[in-house]
């Protein structure tokens, strides 16, 4: 029982990342009908927002180390600490959460630039061509990041108070053995908040209502005199923000490197397909579901029965779902059923 609970928890944080990326993908697909293979790169860019901010915050000055008296020793001290003392070091410690504030405008701009600069020319082309051009874009983004940051993963530390593990078992009155890193818990809550925010935005604002109407019947909304294209462009930006934030917060869990986007993209596409093309709820549900399934498959007991299942479970589920339920878990009727 405890083991099962722990595995569910373990799966949820990865599932949170899948769900956020898949949510972005589905937003783009549902509104603009574009299959965006560059979305993983957006996730990766978000992660590198955090890396960049951390680098900026820790820009250092060489000053003399007073504690060493035998010889002239120097140490690197970040400017922030020199200028603001304690406040400065706290700022540095919280660089990952602070990156969220930076990442939102940056990712919005990235999203808008991608849509205006590239994807709007591809609405009338085939899906194959959309896949290909976004695949090319993903390679380009990836290689540029690699040129600036190198190929090695760059670890990011979470703030001190989230560094350890939470004894969830004791809190919930279950076994003491259930411990879970604080930051993953934070990530889970964060993913929940972002998902809830996106859904609230679509559900309770006029803008969201128009977008939802546009997803159902773009032409009619256009005929009502609403500039649906512009709203969809903003939705594209929003989708980029969602994935970017997923990337920012994921950095303490997985040190970002240039190809993390590709790794997540393939899985997220599978998630989208399992959830049902164009279904936002489906994408989120499938994201968490597949995350949990993956962590269950990684259990030693399961691996003993079916060796290697942890490596292929997601794809296997996708294949089965695609064959027996072509619409995906929650796909609407008529959306890309062929």
Partner 1 sequence: MIAPTTPRKDMVMFIVFAIAILTLPIWMAPLGGSYPDLLQKFAIFGLFAVGFNILFGLTGYLSFGHAAFLGVGSYTAVWSFKLLSMNILPAIFFGMITSGLFALIIGYVSLRRSGIYFSILTLAFAQMSYNLAYSVLTPITYGETGLQLAQYDPRILDAQATVEGGGIPLTNLFGLEMQGWPGFYFCAVVLIIGFYIAMRITRSPFGMMLLAVKSNQNRMNYTGLNTRPYTLAAFVISGIYAGLAGSLMAVTDPLAGAERMQWTASGEVVLMTILGGVGTLLGPVLGAAIIKYFENIFSAINESVLHAFFGFLPDFIENGLVNVASLFVGKGWHLTLGVLFMVMVIFLPGGVIEAYDRIRKRFFSKETRSSAAPQAGDD
CB of 190 to partner 1, least distance (A): 28
CB of 336 to partner 1, least distance (A): 7
CB of 303 to partner 1, least distance (A): 9
How distant is the alpha carbon of residue 24 from its chain centre?
9
d(CA 245, CA 23): 12
Closer to partner 1 by CB, 26 or 54: give it.
26
Closer to partner 1 by CB, 126 or 220: give it.
126
CB of 221 to partner 1, least distance (A): 25
* E strand spans, 167-258: 180-181
Closer to partner 1 by CB, 251 or 268: give it.
268
- Provide the H-helix boundaries in 118-181: 127-149, 168-171
Closer to partner 1 by CB, 37 or 236: give it.
37
CB of 126 to partner 1, least distance (A): 8
Cα-based distances in Å from 85 to 77, 90, 92: 11, 9, 11
Closer to partner 1 by CB, 166 or 265: give it.
265
Secondary structure element (H or E) that encloses residue 83, with its range: helix 79-84
Give the residue among 232, 235, 227 at the shortest CA–CA distance from 201. Answer: 235
Closer to partner 1 by CB, 140 or 172: give it.
140
CB of 121 to partner 1, least distance (A): 7
Closer to partner 1 by CB, 131 or 234: give it.
131
Check if the beta carbon of residue 146 is closer than 8 Å to that of residue 278.
Answer: no
Tokens of 140: 């380009």
How distant is the alpha carbon of residue 16 from its chain centre?
8
Tokens of 36: 């965006």
CB of 321 to partner 1, least distance (A): 10
Tokens of 187: 């990530």
Where along the sequence are the contacts to partner 1 (CB under 8 A)?
35, 118, 121, 125, 127-129, 131-133, 135-140, 142-144, 146-147, 262, 266, 269-270, 273, 277, 307-308, 311-312, 315-316, 318-319, 322-323, 326, 336, 338
Three-class DSSP category at 248: helix
Check if the beta carbon of residue 158 is closer than 8 Å to that of residue 97.
Answer: no
Closer to partner 1 by CB, 245 or 277: give it.
277
Check if the beta carbon of residue 231 is closer than 8 Å to that of residue 214.
Answer: yes
CB of 24 to partner 1, least distance (A): 17
Secondary structure element (H or E) that encloses residue 318, with its range: helix 309-324
CB of 320 to partner 1, least distance (A): 10
Check if the beta carbon of residue 24 is closer than 8 Å to that of residue 42.
Answer: yes
| CB-based burial label for 242 (10 Å; 0-12, 13-18, 19+) | buried
Check if the beta carbon of residue 77 is closer than 8 Å to that of residue 67.
Answer: no
Closer to partner 1 by CB, 184 or 327: give it.
327
């Amino acid at each position: 029982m405890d083991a099962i609970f722990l595995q569910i928890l373990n799966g949820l944080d990865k599932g949170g990342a899948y769900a956020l990326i898949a949510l972005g993908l589905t937003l783009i697909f549902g509104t603009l009908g574009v299959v965006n293979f560059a979305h993983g790169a957006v996730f990766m860019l978000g992660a590198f927002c955090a890396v960049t901010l951390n680098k900026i915050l820790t820009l250092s000055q060489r000053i003399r180390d007073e504690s060493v008296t035998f010889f002239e020793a120097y140490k690197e001290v970040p400017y922030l600490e020199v200028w603001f003392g304690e406040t400065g070091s706290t700022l540095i410690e919280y660089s990952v959460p602070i990156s969220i504030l930076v990442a939102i405008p940056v990712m919005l701009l990235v999203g808008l630039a991608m849509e205006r600069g590239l994807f709007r020319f591809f609405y009338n082309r085939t899906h194959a061509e959309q896949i290909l051009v976004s695949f090319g874009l993903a390679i380009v983004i990836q290689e540029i990041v690699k040129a600036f940051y190198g190929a090695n993963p760059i670890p990011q530390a979470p703030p001190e108070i989230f560094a350890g593990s939470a004894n969830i078992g004791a809190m919930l009155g279950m076994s003491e053995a259930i411990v879970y890193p604080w930051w993953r818990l934070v990530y889970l809550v964060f993913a929940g908040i972002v998902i809830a925010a996106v859904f609230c935005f679509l559900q309770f604002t006029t803008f969201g209502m128009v977008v939802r109407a546009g997803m159902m019947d773009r032409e009619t909304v256009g005929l009502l005199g609403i500039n649906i294209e512009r709203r969809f462009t903003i939705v594209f930006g929003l989708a980029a923000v969602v994935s970017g934030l997923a990337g920012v917060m994921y950095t303490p869990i997985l040190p970002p490197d240039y190809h993390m986007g590709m790794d997540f993209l393939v899985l997220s596409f599978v998630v989208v397909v399992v959830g049902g093309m164009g279904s936002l709820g489906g994408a989120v549900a499938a994201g968490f579901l597949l995350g949990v399934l993956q962590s269950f498959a990684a259990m030693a007991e399961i691996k003993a029965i079916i060796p290697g299942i942890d490596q292929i479970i997601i794809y296997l589920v996708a294949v089965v779902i695609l064959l027996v339920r072509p619409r995906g878990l929650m796909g609407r009727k008529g959306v890309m059923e062929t």
